[in-house]
Amino acid sequence: MISKYSLNNPSITIRSDLAAQFPVYIYLSSDKKHLLYGTSIKVLLEHPEVITPLQVRDESISFLLQSGIVPLPHTVYENIFIVGIGDIAKVESKNNTIELSFSHKFPFKNEERKKEMDIDEKYILGLLTKATLSTLDIQQDSYLFHSAGKDSNMIALALAEAGYQNNITCITHQSNNENDESEISEKIAKKLGFKHQKLYIPKKILPQHIQSIHSYFENIPLPSIDNVTLAYPIYETQIEFKHSNIIDGSGNDVYIGHIPSQAEYRHQKFFSNLHQFRKITDTLSSTNKLRNITLTKSEWAGLSGFSFSDSKKLFSKASSVYPHWKASTQERKDWDYLDIRADTWGSFVESDRVIRKVRNLASLNNANLILPWCDTEVAAYFTKVPEKYLFDRRKLKNKLILRKILKDKIGLDSDKLGKKAFSFDFFSILEVMKEEVTDEIIHSRLWNENTINKLLTKLFKDSHSNKKSRILIQRLYLISTWYNKNKYIKRDN
């Protein structure tokens, strides 16, 4: 449902639910006379009062290139905003126009947790079951994105103990390297009584895959510059997601402890004042490792990309993102780093890059997206849980209570298994599709035609020995293909 605020109405405030399972999308007309808002971006964009195509926001392209996200409340569009975790939008009428202002208060700071609390493991599983089933359409097929990790297995365990194994299929990406989780995932799924299906990247990219990728970029409401984005249109050729229930385990890092690696923790501590030399390192090549030491504390939470100088060569309207992240870090100067990381990653990166790609999948297929860890009751419970049950600051070890439950209940020893991040070899697809990738990038009207070919050639040349080059090629492709094909945007002549 779309709500409307009319000029000269009493002022209102707009908030999302606690963990933004249902973020609120806002459209403000260019003349600032009309404002619409609702929890479905697709419904909002297709509303008759929303004037499309939409103007792309230049500053947002700068952020996508340099940081990989557009910091909320902004989006890639001039007239569209998002109210997410901790965000408050104030809407009021002044001087015969509608004024929209935003503030942000992080709701999950660790200092506000209870000091002592009895942990009820059965209650936790019950919360996850309730969060999943409360919006599940039992008449439709249901798929749980499943891995060897803690988040999806907690959901699987909760549903299994509630007796819903026969209604849901676990689906897992199959990698061709040592990080492959599909065998472990399949064993767990079968142990719990679920059906299981492996998703894979084909050895040969066929016309049907290219068509699926093109359709994906044409129709997604908002872009996601995530390293796994390209997997989703490939998955659509293997599973029929139309009108299904899609269950995803993302969303709890923001309140359960998004713990850095030992290396990151040391770096943000020792290099925290070196960002004052950012103007120097922003003149360097995007793949120069010296750039890392001048990141702000906010950026250490997974934000990187092209240098400002390379961005300016690519995109003549580019602006530096450094002032924004410097101000963000300054606002949080008295915060514990784990809170800074949780707020930056959870409120911005995870909510609108990691989760955005599965939101897009659901939107394209008119599917019912269920994010149990983003459920308000689940988030509110874990917000109170004492730190000692969630993470160990000295060992930088996370999700302790989840590790214990899974080891006790299904024998999944996360400590022994180690960290198995979702491994999707995006570059193997880009190499197979090199002609398609190159064509989309160099012919995109976003980029400076005098420099894009030279830069792309260099990135491809360095790509076999430099992971950063591979990531930057994919980023250019994701942005270019979205800009070239998306039906919602106004393109420059």
Mean pLDDT, rounded, of the chain: 95
pLDDT above 60 for 435: yes
**What is the rounded CA–CA span in Å between residue 463 and residue 475?**
13
Taking a C-beta distance cutoff of 8 angstroms, is the pair 298, 325 a contact? Answer: yes
What pLDDT does 26 receive? Answer: 99
Q: Which position has the higher pLDDT, 258 or 223?
A: 223
Q: What is the 3-state secondary structure (H, E, C) of the chain?
A: CCEEEECCCCCEEECCCCCCCCCEEEEECCCCCEEEEECCHHHHHCCCCCCCCEEECHHHHHHHHHCCCCCCCECCECCEEEECCCEEEEEEEECCEEEEEEEECCCCCHHHCCCCCCCCHHHHHHHHHHHHHCCCCCCCCEEEECCCCHHHHHHHHHHHHCCCHHHCEEEEECCCCCCCCHHHHHHHHHHHCCEEEEECCCCCCCHHHHHHHHHHHHHCCCCCCCCCCCHHHHHCCCCCCCCCEEECCCCCHHHHCCCCCHHHHHHHHHCCCHHHHHHHHCCCCCCCHHHHHHCCCCHHHCCCCCCHHHHHHHCCCCCCCHHHHHHHHHHCCCCCHHHHHHHHHHHHHHHHHHHHHHHHHHHHCCCEEECHHHCHHHHHHHHHCCHHHCCECCCCECCHHHHHHHHHHHCCCHHHHCCCCCCCCHHHHHHHCHHHHHHHHHCCCCCCCCCHHHHHHHHHHHCCCCHHHHHHHHHHHHHHHHHHHCCCEECCC
What pLDDT does 351 receive? Answer: 87
pLDDT band at 488 (very low <50, low <70, confident <90, very high): very high
pLDDT above 90 for 345: yes
What pLDDT does 420 receive? Answer: 57
What pLDDT does 302 receive? Answer: 87
Mean pLDDT of 108-120: 96
pLDDT above 80 for 419: no
Over residues 6-25, the pLDDT tens digits come to 999 999 999 999 999 999 99
What structural domains does the chain harbor?
A: 3-105 (3.60.20.10), 107-200+238-424 (3.40.50)
What pLDDT does 250 receive? Answer: 96
pLDDT above 70 for 399: yes
Over residues 121-158, the pLDDT tens digits come to 999 999 999 999 999 999 999 999 999 999 999 999 99
pLDDT above 90 for 272: no
What pLDDT does 215 receive? Answer: 98
What pLDDT does 178 receive? Answer: 73
pTM of the model: 0.96
Among residues of the chain, what percentage have pLDDT more than 90?
A: 86
pLDDT above 80 for 358: yes
